[in-house]
A and B are shown apart, each in its own frame.
Chain A
């Protein structure tokens, strides 16, 4: 008499067993998996769109660099605006590691299409004096026309930022605009400058011209500085003291790329509402899977009894239905991942973003569906294992 020990089911046999019910009723399997698909598709899309937007901003940031610093006068102890010295940019340029430094100064006048428009209408455009090397420091480009040079910085000519030109309704140079109390000739329009949006909204003239035609006092209101990447922190530490030795705490130093970084971080954070909706769909999907499995167990009592008569143990019956639930759920999850990835690619294509679906999201989605399937299948599988073997013989 030998010891009785049930043989183990091979994984391949278990997988075949787990799919047998699904193959027998494919339509039901599809409908049961639909809820899970929708949930996973929603979540993958939300994550994918966020990741794509973030990728876009990060690529932009990469292209723009993070080594630009900006100094602006803060408010003094008594509440009035502090003035930066006229030679602030020159002083900054002497700091170790600084490669470029330039400055701009607000003139307080407005720019208008003609002299009939009241001087109070600014369109949100600032008229600023700009040093000649501003474009180098900001890594900006002229879209049309030319930038200022040593000759034109003394003349009543103006270069418009991209947004400023748009707001004035101008597309190219060689038109006249009214600034202060006289005509200026537009000689150039700048490209977009994501790191210095205030320049996009500016009309720029040379410092000498600002002094001669717009009564500017020559004090800069912003100093831009670019250094080697590794020198940024060191420069930042001494920047305020350099431009305002007496009152270093009255100069505000900022890093424009930080704003872009924050924007990227915000874009990377998914909207909780959409994720919540996905989670609800997943939950409903799990209930659907559980329901389908309970029905399947009821319908297949005879099959279960027959398998028990073949020698299947309770554990093997349990495993069969658990695997079926997991496969059903994973099938839904796989379809959901595919749909989500397609939706992300579609969205990215329409909006000109790089399509990014993070690998962790795909892996996470599949792991989640497997977990959901196991949870949803647990109760039906336990019920299946409790079906008595005698049902194989009973006539009903």
Chain B
């Protein structure tokens, strides 16, 4: 079954076409990298795949839901249930512990605070930071911070994980650490889409999609 279906999608900002007639289908359990130089439209592709933005034309389906037919609050519910995001800059709250940062990601799922914290602890355990629950972000290394962010993205067990340049702010060792984590999560069943311009990261993924000038140019299998 397809977790993500993008068909004939275009996105324009005024006169600038960021995406032109893009088709991309991702099946459950895949691990895909989206590669392209900056300005190629890969970030726009991620925003549209993550339902953070709507396409100008074409259809997007996430887990079978046609995004164009959902209201803003239904889209919010869709994101809460189906999609986890990992960002280049981690976006961790500096004043909160690793546990609270991860638990905050579950705030809009309807779970009680106790349940959120229990799941957050389990997620941190899963990314190998079970011993760092009470640490603040500034007490962690870059790789650890990104692993906290990954834990936050997967704590709600969404079927789809979207990562925007997850290794962009990390040295190669920490980057490899995060990639190893992604592979483990993927093996456990989570579909992962990674946007990157790092060929090494791209090569680590079984499927690679190349984006250039708003077009999905080639797929390397």
**Of residues B47, B50, B76, B83, which shows the largest number of chain A Cβ atoms within 10 Å of its Cβ?**
B76
CB-CB under 8 A from A311, the residues of chain B are: 76-81, 108-109
Nearest residue, chain B, Cβ from A394: B43
By the criterion CB–CB under 8 Å, are A308 and B76 in contact? Answer: yes
Contact with B along A272-305 (1 / 0, CB 8 A): 0000000000000000000000000000001101
When A and B form their complex, what is the total count of cross-chain residue pairs whose Cβ atoms lie within 8 Å?
A: 100
CB-CB under 8 A from A302, the residues of chain B are: 91
Contact with A along B80-99 (1 / 0, CB 8 A): 11010101110101010000
- Residues facing A in B9-58 (CB within 8 A) are 43, 46-47, 50, 52-53
Give the dominant DSSP class at A's interface.
helix
By the criterion CB–CB under 8 Å, are B65 and A313 in contact? Answer: no
By the criterion CB–CB under 8 Å, are B107 and A309 in contact? Answer: no
Partner of B105, one of A13, A308, A310: A310
By the criterion CB–CB under 8 Å, are A4 and B81 in contact? Answer: yes
**Shortest distance from the beta carbon of A19 to any chain B beta carbon, whole Å:** 12
**Of residues A9, A13, A312, A313, which shows the largest number of chain B Cβ atoms within 10 Å of its Cβ?**
A313
By the criterion CB–CB under 8 Å, are B70 and A4 in contact? Answer: yes
- Residues facing B in A359-396 (CB within 8 A) are 388-390, 392-395
By the criterion CB–CB under 8 Å, are B52 and A309 in contact? Answer: yes
- Bound-state CA distance A10–B112 (Å) is 8
With A309-B50, A312-B108 as given contacts, are A1 and B65 in contact (CB-CB < 8 Å)?
Answer: yes
By the criterion CB–CB under 8 Å, are B65 and A4 in contact? Answer: yes
- Bound-state CA distance A394–B18 (Å) is 14
Interface assignment of B72: CB less than 8 Å from any CB of chain A: yes
By the criterion CB–CB under 8 Å, are A6 and B164 in contact? Answer: no
By the criterion CB–CB under 8 Å, are A392 and B104 in contact? Answer: no
With A4-B65, A310-B107, A316-B108 as given contacts, are A393 and B77 in contact (CB-CB < 8 Å)?
Answer: no
CB-CB under 8 A from B73, the residues of chain A are: 6, 313-315
Nearest residue, chain A, Cβ from B195: A393
Interface assignment of A7: CB less than 8 Å from any CB of chain B: yes
By the criterion CB–CB under 8 Å, are B113 and A6 in contact? Answer: no
Partner of B108, one of A7, A24, A388, A392: A7
- Bound-state CA distance A310–B43 (Å) is 18
With A6-B73, A393-B46, A393-B87 as given contacts, are A310 and B108 in contact (CB-CB < 8 Å)?
Answer: yes
Interface assignment of B128: CB less than 8 Å from any CB of chain A: no
- Bound-state CA distance A201–B106 (Å) is 80
CB-CB under 8 A from B87, the residues of chain A are: 306, 392-393
CB-CB under 8 A from B83, the residues of chain A are: 309
By the criterion CB–CB under 8 Å, are A24 and B88 in contact? Answer: no
By the criterion CB–CB under 8 Å, are A12 and B85 in contact? Answer: no
- Bound-state CA distance A378–B112 (Å) is 28
By the criterion CB–CB under 8 Å, are A308 and B64 in contact? Answer: no
- Residues facing A in B149-171 (CB within 8 A) are 164
With A9-B107, A306-B91, A310-B108 as given contacts, are A392 and B81 in contact (CB-CB < 8 Å)?
Answer: no
